[in-house]
Structure 1
Amino acid sequence: MDTPHPGVSTVTKDALRDQLRAARKRRPLEAAALLAASVADVATEWSEVRRAATVAAYVSVGSEPGTGLLLDALVAAGKRVLLPVVLPGLDLDWAVYTGRDSLAPAVRGLFEPTGERLGREAIGQADVVLVPGLGVSSTGERLGQGGGCYDRALPRVTPGTPVAVVLYDDEVGVAVPTEPHDLPVGFALTAGGVVPLVIPG
């Protein structure tokens, strides 16, 4: 059963985002570092990732669960890793990650790959897609940062491809308000493991 995150008193997306962001900022830096290592371990041991040739992922920023170690672990495991490049209209292009020296500062405090742009449809090449978020319900409704980038990108994922949102453990099972354009995700990936989510219908 989904429960509001502690302190959430309204069902609006903006209010829920504010509460979840505040909770993230209160987490100690030491915990974030340990979690980044655990996320990398969990992801690389996940059977879907182990079988994958291409993984679409992202570069974490700020108080997000860290993905730096994960990206390097994926490359070390021989995976082709696609990272997003934010376009002016907040859609996503994609480029291959080859290591930390292939990243450069970008808009909104993000870091993006500097290699050849592969086009918006390149996410359809991924065998697994890892996405950011602030929370997810037990039925896969994901709460993003509000820019709508992944609302635009996820419809291009090949049907049947596993999509997992990377979160802290207590951000799974949150009551997330939904809108018609929201696409559910199939899994939550946390330091504690990969949680399958029940997608209605």
Structure 2
Amino acid sequence: MSDRIDHAKRALRADLRERRQMQSESARAQAAHGLRRQLDELLEQLDAHSISCFLSTPSEPGTREFIDAAVGRGIRVLLPITRADGLLDWAVAVAGGDVTAGLTGSPEPVGEVLGPIAVNDVDLLLVPAAAVDRTGMRLGWGRGYFDKTLGSMEKCPPVYAVVFDSEFVDEVPRDVHDQPVTGIVTPTRTVTFSTSAPR
């Protein structure tokens, strides 16, 4: 990665992180309710019965309400567990399941650990992001876990990044290893990018 691209990514991530931390509790709760509605509609639209998602941190778009409801409806939800080698293991979400801090400090499930290939069986991947641009290019938080996962999948299902509305931007800095997404889900809308975009 060039120094110019790396600097641009760091600057944008710092700005986005600060904006997230300035949100009020009521704004976060409202966003979580809206996000659940959008994600429920996406599941129905794609007829997804097995998905991957992530346990949100307090500053991220809230996924926990959606995950609990999906598990309650019989959807199989895989949650990521970080590994020291940069790959992701997975665990099946359970209602009221225990949570611990992962290698990056983010919440992760406690339970039977499935290997990295477990995610190959899902109908839909919901991934975190710092921002996504209008071409579907995703800017992650710099650790590369999801870029590696997406780049290694033989037959990738639809991938939607979960972001706040303000994080759908005109352009993000990109490098060769960065992976585009199929669409985004925000608290107010779902956007699917052109099928001609690279996946």
TM normalised by structure 1 equals 0.88
Percent sequence identity over matched residues? 35
Query: Is this contact kept in 2: 1:44–1:50, CA < 8 A?
Result: no
Query: Is 2:173 the counterpart of 1:182?
Result: no
Q: Mapping of 1:7-26 within 5 angstroms?
A: 12-26=8-22
Contact 1:49–1:55 under 8 Å retained in 2: no
Shift of 1:25: 1.2
Task: List runs of 5+ in structure 2 lacking aligned partners.
Answer: 1-5
* 1:106 CA drift (Å): 2.7
Whole-Å separation in 2 of the counterparts to 1:96 and 1:82: 5
Residues 150 and 156, structure 2, Cα contact 8 Å, conserved in 1 = no
The number of aligned residues is 192
1:95-116 per-residue CA deviation (whole Å, 9 max, x = no partner) reads: 1011232323333222222222
Q: Which of the numbers 109, 112, 129 marks the counterpart of 2:108?
A: 112
Distance 2:31 2:86 in 1: 29
Matching residue of 2:98: 102
AA paired with 2:21? K
1:64 to 53, 60, 65: 60
Counterpart for residue 3 of structure 1 = none
**Letter matched to residue 200 of structure 1:** A
Return the alpha-carbon distance in structure 1 between the equivalents of residues 43 and 84 of structure 2: 36
Alpha-carbon distance in structure 2 between the residues aligned to 1:60 and 1:114? 15
1:189 maps to a residue whose letter is V
1:128-170 superposed Cα distances (whole Å, 9 cap, x missing partner) = 0000011000111111111111111112445351100001111
The correspondence for 2:193, drawn from 190, 194, 197, is 197
Aligned match of 1:150: 146
Contact 2:97 2:110 in 1 (8 A): no
SS of aligned partner of 2:166: helix
How far apart are the structure 1 equivalents of 2:157 and 2:75?
Answer: 16
TM superposition shift of 1:19: 0.9
In the alignment, is residue 35 of structure 1 matched against residue 52 of structure 2?
Answer: no
Displacement of 1:49: 6.1
Q: TM-score, normalised by structure 2?
A: 0.89
Letter in 1 for 2:93: Y
In the TM superposition, residue 46 of structure 1 has moved relative to its aligned partner by 1.5
Offset at residue 197 of structure 1 (A): 2.1
Is 1:140 the counterpart of 2:136? The answer is yes
CA 1:73–1:50 in 2, change beyond 3 Å: closer, same or farther?
farther
Bigger Cα displacement from structure 2, 98-107 vs 24-33 = 98-107
CA contact (8 A) 2:100 2:109 kept: yes
> 1:48, 1:128 within 8 Å by CA — same for their partners in 2?
no
How far 1:48 moved relative to its partner?
A: 5.4
Alpha-carbon RMSD across the aligned residues, in angstroms, is: 1.9
Letter in 2 for 1:98: V
- Counterpart residue number, 1:121: 117
On the 8 A contact 1:56/1:126 being kept in 2, the answer is yes
Q: In 1, distance between residues paired with 2:96 and 2:182?
A: 29
SS in 1 for 2:104: helix
